[in-house]
Amino acid sequence: MDTLTELTVRLKEFRDERDWAKFHNPKDLALAINIETSELLELFLWKKHDEVEKQKIELEVADIFSFLLLFADKYQIDLKKVLLNKIEINKIKYPVDKFKGVSTKYNAL
């Protein structure tokens, strides 16, 4: 089984054993991704990045990834496909000759 599918299956097992699917509407799942991301950011607040413990970072990253997978599952989004598609879009939006070494005002990678 593909890794993304496998992890989603495991998350849904965990969720369903607790009957939590009823709380997981798309808007709140998107909110949950955001809240977990802020918890990751909080680790860096007032700090330089090398002052942050890797173990704490891993726990927050896991939370963000969990809610992202559950959100994607809700919309039957194929994460691999949309990511590869977005890279193709960004290749057109940010041609190498114009954007090499240039920080842009867009949130590009």
33-92 residues in contact with a second copy (CB under 8 A) are: 33-42, 44-49, 52, 54, 57-59, 61-72, 75, 77, 79-80, 82-87, 89-91
Give least dist CB 56 to a second copy, A. 10
Q: Which residue of 9, 14, 73, 93 would you call a contact of a second copy, by CB under 8 A?
A: 14
> Is residue 100 close enough to count as binding a second copy by CB under 8 A?
yes
> Is residue 3 close enough to count as binding a second copy by CB under 8 A?
yes
Q: Torsions phi, psi of 21, nearest 5? A: -60, -30
For the chain, give the longest Cα–Cα distance. 52
> Is residue 108 close enough to count as binding a second copy by CB under 8 A?
yes
* Cα 59 to the center of its chain, rounded Å: 13
Site size with a second copy, rule: CB under 8 A = 77
- Helix (H/G/I), strand (E/B), else coil: 62: helix
Q: How far is Cα 13 from Cα 19, in angstroms, rounded to an integer?
A: 10
Give least dist CB 57 to a second copy, A. 6
Give least dist CB 36 to a second copy, A. 6
Contact between 70 and 29 (Cβ < 8 Å) = yes
Q: How far is Cα 4 from Cα 75, in angstroms, rounded to an integer?
A: 15
